[in-house]
Structure 1
Amino acid sequence: MPVVLSLNIAQQTIPVDYAQKGATGIDKRPVEGPLQVSPQGPKGTAGSGVAGDTIADLDHHGGEHQAVYGYAREDLDWWQAELGVDLHNGQFGENLTTQGIDQTHALIGERWRVGTALLEVTAPRVPCRTFAGFLGQRGWVKRFTQAGRPGAYFRVLEAGLIASGDEITVVHKPDHDVTVEMFLRAVLTEAELLPRLLEAGDAVPPEVIALVHKRTTIDLKQ
């Protein structure tokens, strides 16, 4: 049975020299909960969808389509073996560490009932220098991208309470094959896949839809 293994938040940001804003909320730690999970406004103006969670860089994190971030414990275990270090739940900055459900091949627009909240898969995590600096791994952005285990962002369709141990139920699968992993390849390594993202409709973040249209226009002019 798929479950929330842990619910993780950053109760405060920490000052660091490797983050663009000079601070980060990536260091999330498990809490028992339950915590309220709520819909958010546009990126740049809204923060985390998880009550009590702190975000330092609103330009790149939080907002409607990145209200909640999930990562599978199975993928953390894979990285533990690869890196030779212990990784605690929440160490990749995820709000939900899950067990028993495949986030990599989840469909964009797939809907999960988690606790009493309804979440919708919207995008993969795109690695950045803050992520690399926090883990202290050289070449991390490239390595994380190549591994293709990005975890999933969610928007909150129905507010509710989530706690560690809550069951995860997939209640809707859209009629397309755009997965979290394909999305990652489209935006970082295989631009020819970008138009495919439009098949997922408004589950795709607006800035990515704009990127697809911009890239398509450029290609048509060439």
Structure 2
Amino acid sequence: MQQRAVVGSVNLGQPEPNPYKETRATGIAKRPQDGPVEVRAPGPKKGGLGSGLVGDFLGDTKHHGGDDQAVYSFAREDLDRWAERLGRELPNGFFGENLTTEGIDVNAARVGERWRVGDTVELVVTCPRIPCSTFRGWVGERGWLRTFTADARPGAYLRVAVPGTIRAGDPIAVISRPDHDVTISTVFRATTRERELLPGLLAAGDDLDAETREAAEAARAAG
């Protein structure tokens, strides 16, 4: 029997000093919340509200946040795999994810795929998480960015299509899935180590975020 897909936890970050980057504070240390959390579209990356979750702090709003990166999801199953590989406990929220999911392969989600979370909230899969220096310093493993990138299971950002509240235990249902086969893992591989895959991302059409589409179009034009 297939495991039911649910939210394992909803995680928020508070500002803490960031010794790993030029930004003075970071919210990467996200912690599970006991009650419901409000989710809404944060607006543009520049001048918007940052995170799609009310009460969640983002330190580097130049590179994170905005409508296409409103909510970051990562699978508990992948955290468990990394915990075994690294030989250390990795609690929900440790990778900086807002939603720690259970029972759904986040990395196999297609860009443009729509999820219903709980009774009302609808989220649209947009793009993979690209690891940064804050993530590298926070995890503290030698060669971490190279190791994480080679694994090609980065977790997914989502856009808020229908706002509302979410909480731990809410069911996750995939309510629509595009016809193309461009997944989060495929986009990540194409934009990091396997640039020859970039032109193929254009099969996703308007489901691609603007930055990825621009890179894919440039790669196609270059032959």
Task: Give the TM-score category using the shorter length.
Answer: over 0.9
Q: 1:72 aligns with which of 71, 75, 83?
A: 75
For structure 2, list consecutive stretches of 5 or more residues without a partner in the other structure: none
Counterpart of 1:125 in structure 2 is 129
Paired residues, number: 218
What CA distance in whole angstroms lies between the structure 1 residues aligned with 2:61 and 2:207?
20
CA RMSD of aligned residues (A): 1.3
User: Which of residues 36, 39, 45 in structure 1 aligns to 2:38?
Assistant: 36
Matches within 5 A, 1:152-171: 152-171=156-175
Query: 1: distance between equivalents of 2:131 and 2:71?
Result: 16
Structure 2 letter corresponding to 1:34: P
Residue of structure 2 equivalent to 1:111: 114
In structure 2, C-alpha distance between the alignment counterparts of 1:213 and 1:99, rounded to whole Å = 35
Output the TM-score relative to the length of structure 2.
0.94
Are positions 1:134 and 2:104 aligned together?
no
Distance 1:147 1:132, change over 3 A: same
What letter corresponds to residue 40 of structure 1 in structure 2? P
Question: Which residue identity does 1:94 align to in structure 2?
Answer: E
Aligned letter for 1:200?
Answer: A
User: TM-score when scaled to structure 1?
Assistant: 0.94
Letter paired with 1:75 = D
Partner SS for 2:107: coil
Structure 1 residue 213, shift from structure 2 partner: 2.7
Contact 2:75-2:155 at 8 Å conserved across structures: yes
Question: 2:166 & 2:203 partners in 1: Cα distance?
Answer: 30
2 CA distance for matches of 1:92 and 1:172? 27
Is contact 1:3-1:100 (8 Å) kept?
yes
Structure 1 contact 49–67 (Cα < 8 Å) conserved: yes
Pick aligned residue for 1:198 from 197, 202, 220:
202
Segments of 5+ residues of structure 1 without an aligned counterpart are none
Q: Distance in 2 between matches of 1:8 and 1:86?
A: 17
2:29 is aligned with 1:27 = yes
Distance change (3 Å), C-alpha of 1:44 and 1:215: farther
